[in-house]
Amino acid sequence: MTGNGDFGRRIIHHRTNLGLTLEQVADRADMSAGYIEYLEGHLRTPDGGTVMRLATALETTVEDLLGGGRDRPPGPGAAAADPVLEVLEPGECLRLVAPGGIGRIAFGGSHGPTVLPVNYKLHDGAIVFRTARGGPMDQDLRTGLEGVEIKIGFQVDRIDEARREGWSVLIQGPAHHVPEDEVAKVSDAGVSPWAGGERLLYIRIVPSRITGRRIHGL
């Protein structure tokens, strides 16, 4: 196997997502912590047996650890045997979305129904994301009427194809344009858009309805 430069970063990504130390991953994979640290910092990809042990230790697949299937849509495989669809309580929904990341907002835009990805954080019980002042999203989320706000949808999901399970959370509520005197407080959420640019307008979704589903096997 030849390295593509992503292998070390993928180890770090899965390890930090699981909240594991180098020593804990080493114990799971029956390797030395020093060797795993070396793999995280170098470009080379080890032999197939080592990759398989690391994938198991990091609760992922060999394909994912090697960066395969990045352009493949999620969920093309068969469903789990006897799948169970579980309704999630609002508290559990908020717990699932609390780590932040990338979600999707849905609203009626100037050109019709619109769904866009945003980097978000959960801050004081509300969803916070950033956009450009005066941009299309800023304009589409304003009613032009004092005290009247647009209700939008916010959705996050996670799919574990190896286990044939996953969850989806939908939060609905009005979109508040955060005023200048509250920006300092909301900026503590640490939202950092991947798209870059001058995205200095904070928008906050105050949940009025929270629903979620989890699918898993028996």
126 and 204 housed in the same domain: yes
Residue 132 has pLDDT above 80, yes or no: yes
184 and 116 housed in the same domain: yes
121 and 44 housed in the same domain: no
Give the structural domain span for 37: 7-65
- Share of residues in the chain with pLDDT > 90 (%): 51
Question: 70 falls in which pLDDT band (50, 70, 90)?
Answer: low
Question: 78 falls in which pLDDT band (50, 70, 90)?
Answer: low
Residue 188 has pLDDT above 80, yes or no: yes
Q: Say what the pLDDT of residue 46 is.
A: 87
Q: Say what the pLDDT of residue 216 is.
A: 82
pLDDT 10s digits, 93-131: 999 999 899 999 999 998 999 999 999 999 999 999 999
Tell me, what CATH number does 178's domain have?
A: 2.30.110.10
pLDDT 10s digits, 19-68: 899 999 999 999 999 999 999 988 778 888 999 999 999 988 888 888 76
pLDDT 10s digits, 139-185: 999 988 877 889 999 999 988 766 778 899 999 999 999 988 888 88
The closest alpha carbon to 40, from 80, 68, 11, 20, belongs to: 11
Q: Say what the pLDDT of residue 76 is.
A: 64
pLDDT 10s digits, 201-210: 999 999 999 9
Q: Say what the pLDDT of residue 2 is.
A: 41
What separation in angstroms does the CA of 5 have from each of 11, 39, 145, 164, 201?
Answer: 11, 11, 52, 29, 35
138 and 208 housed in the same domain: yes
89 and 60 housed in the same domain: no
Tell me, what CATH number does 42's domain have?
A: 1.10.260.40
61 and 127 housed in the same domain: no
Torsion-angle region of residue 207: left (phi > 0), alpha (psi -120 to 50) or beta?
Answer: beta
Q: Return d(Cα 202, Cα 7) in angstroms, integer.
A: 35
Q: Say what the pLDDT of residue 4 is.
A: 42
51 and 92 housed in the same domain: no
- Residue 1 in any domain: the answer is no
Residue 79 has pLDDT above 80, yes or no: no
Q: How many CA atoms lie within 13 A of 120 on its CB side?
A: 24
Q: Return d(Cα 134, Cα 218) in angstroms, integer.
A: 50
Distance of CA 188 to the CA centre of its chain: 19
